[in-house]
Structure 1
Amino acid sequence: MDLDELYRVLRGSHIRARSIVDTIRDPLLVLDSDLCVISANPAFYRTFATHSEETVGLPFTDLGHGQWNIAELQALLSNVIPKSASVFDYEVRADFPVMGCRTMLISAQRVEHPDSRQRILLLSIVDATARRERENDQDMLIGEYDQRIRNMLSVMRALARQTRTQGQSAEAYRDALLQRFDALARAQEISTRGDARQLADLTARIMEPYLNGTSRVRILGGPPIALKATETVSLGMILHELSTNALKHGALSTSGGEVTIAWTSGQDDEGTSVVQLGWQERNGPAATPPSAPGFGTSLIAYSVRQELGGTARLDYGPDGLTAELTFPRV
């Protein structure tokens, strides 16, 4: 109903009109031109644990413990009656008796009686604490996803930039790059599992293309090792580079070659809890150190040092490559 209809109800059926106001769930105040309280609905008294003797006749800014005594809010409300201004969802965050810290939204509108022309201010208060918390959680989630996307794009750019082009056809470059993107995607999938990020799951996911009924890749595993998101991506890319090298030049390039992956946990000489991840190739061609660091060895060295905060040892033996990665445990 519009205001004229509401006032006709107020004149003709006071009891009915009062019952309508009393059923409004949000706190409601009626203020005069001096911003003093004329009346309040039951929701106001119930919400703020007060009563009419502590409310009616007092300036709005004096209610409670001064939570509404805000100069900017008072200036806005002072313009409502004389200038027919409106206030919509002015936010007040304060500590309230019983309720504690809450976020309240203040809205105010001038109401004018159609006959007497008396002007009053109708002020409503909405508790938006839960809504604001949801919005803040959503903002944090969006920010986290934005950061993850930025990080992943940075990694993808680095992979594209570092993938070797010299002496390769366009198809070979494309295949190498897509394989690295695929490994990144599998590692990223594990990294989004929160507390469920486990080294065993990551190893199985990255090595999945090499696992079958007659697999020459054996994952011996080790104790449960929880991983941080950054560790998951870094270790995933390291395992991919090791497996790619084994397939091209190492144990997986020959029919009898084997790869074994295992890990242990313990303490280093300084008493820090560490994880030791081992990669061992057997029955493959002799491993020889590269004449110059390639992308794979550079990525392993950088990731272990910068992302994992650990060390990497690569041994080029007559039976194949052995790698030992040591990094702090979460």
Structure 2
Amino acid sequence: MAPYRRDADYLEALLTQHGVPIRRAAGVEEMLVLLEQSPGIIVATHEALKPEVLEIVRRHLIDQPAWSEMPLVVLLDRSAPQTRIRAELSTAWPRSRQIYYQRPVTALELLSGIQSSLLARLRQRDVRDHIEREVELRRELNHRVKNILASISSIFEMTRRRAVALNDFADDFAGRLRALANVHSAVFQADGEGVELRHVVDLTFSPYQTENQNRLAFEGPTILLRPEAATTLGLCLHELATNALKYGALSQPGGRIKLNWTISSDDDLLTLQWVESGGPPACEPSRSGYGTRYIRSALSGLFGTPPSILFDRQGLQCIFGGPLSRVSWEHREA
């Protein structure tokens, strides 16, 4: 802001020449518009600082966020009452960062001061970004901790209901917590990125594999899961594997499990198929246990449709899936 002589033209030419983008405020209305865009600094000659301008800047300084301290560069004429002007501005703009230059000022001195002020402003915005990231991370951590505690509470209650002995309860509960911890570790190591479905499956199957015998096989295309989808699928696969160990294919030496997943080319529909063989015939229980109830509830919530659980003579089959967009990292909302 420099209303007289050719000060504004000189400042614009000098700063533009050195790569500093500027906007000129020709009047109060334009100044209000520019201040809404959160400028880096304000540069003004003292002649431009009329009472209405002082009030507009004062309100802007009061309303600026805690991280912000916008520099105010004031160019004073050599013949102006400098002490009085500084005192008036300090009263009008308390606790503000004011930088004064006496005209005529050398180009190097003025340019160096403005660039230093802009650098300080960039650092302030770095602090702002850091604060915003920290707040977002805290919200995410709080959200995940609540989800984990809710999962643990649900696992505890439903495991307790079906337990007939303390040792059985302890083993089942510990196994489910380990599954939750393994998948959570994978999600954490992904550092907010997608988690590969193959990695989740491998983590779930690894406790049941032996060095000389591969009883669980899996195959499917690469899919990056959202963190919450990875956790849900990991827990559901753990329940299926635990059931197979107790009653299904893994309860006998010759039993096998195969997990396949495919994506239809027409409508991006993800389908997963769990098939057991070589074990005892699968018989539908008279009362659903925790694992079955959890699988039905969790997969219905995840995909929007319930899983199909088939109690076949050849072994248990579980087919489930839905729109890829509900679980895929690449299809997450912006």
Shorter-chain TM-score above 0.5:
yes
Cα shift at 1:167: 5.3
1:68 aligns with 2:57: yes
Q: 1:128-143 maps to which residues of 2 (within 5 A)?
A: 128-143=124-139
Going by fraction, where is helix more abundant, 1 or 2?
2
Matched with 1:250 is: 248
Q: Which moved more, 1:193-202 or 1:238-247?
A: 193-202
Q: 1:287-326 maps to which residues of 2 (within 5 A)?
A: 287-326=282-321
Matched with 1:148 is: 144
Relative to structure 1, the CA distance from residue 140 to residue 266 in structure 2 (aligned partners, 3 Å threshold; closer, same or farther) is same
Describe the SS at the equivalent of 2:241: helix
Relative to structure 1, the CA distance from residue 326 to residue 305 in structure 2 (aligned partners, 3 Å threshold; closer, same or farther) is same
Cα shift at 1:273: 1.5
Matched with 2:202 is: 204
d(CA) in 1 for partners of 2:257, 2:51: 77
Cα shift at 1:224: 0.8
Match of 2:186 among 181, 184, 190: 190
Match of 2:166 among 166, 170, 186: 170
Relative to structure 1, the CA distance from residue 61 to residue 177 in structure 2 (aligned partners, 3 Å threshold; closer, same or farther) is farther
Matched with 1:157 is: 153
Structure 2 unmatched ranges of 5 or more: 1-38, 72-85, 99-119, 326-334
- Once the two structures are superposed, residues 306-328 of structure 1 have per-residue CA deviations (whole angstroms, 9 ceiling, x without a partner) of 12323311111112111111222
d(CA) in 2 for partners of 1:231, 1:215: 30
Identity of aligned residues (%): 24
The answer (yes or no) to whether the contact 1:216–1:259 under 8 Å persists in 2 is: no
Question: For residue 228 of structure 1, what is the amino acid of its counterpart?
Answer: R
The answer (yes or no) to whether the contact 2:204–2:237 under 8 Å persists in 1 is: yes
Please report the RMSD computed on the Cα atoms of aligned residues, expressed in angstroms: 3.0
1:92 aligns with 2:64: yes
The answer (yes or no) to whether the contact 1:258–1:284 under 8 Å persists in 2 is: yes
d(CA) in 1 for partners of 2:40, 2:256: 71
Matched with 1:105 is: 69
The answer (yes or no) to whether the contact 1:91–1:103 under 8 Å persists in 2 is: no
> After TM superposition, which residue ranges in structure 1, 4 or more long, deviate above 4 angstroms?
none
d(CA) in 1 for partners of 2:130, 2:52: 29
Going by fraction, where is strand more abundant, 1 or 2?
1
Could you state the TM-score of these two structures normalised by the residue count of structure 1?
Answer: 0.66
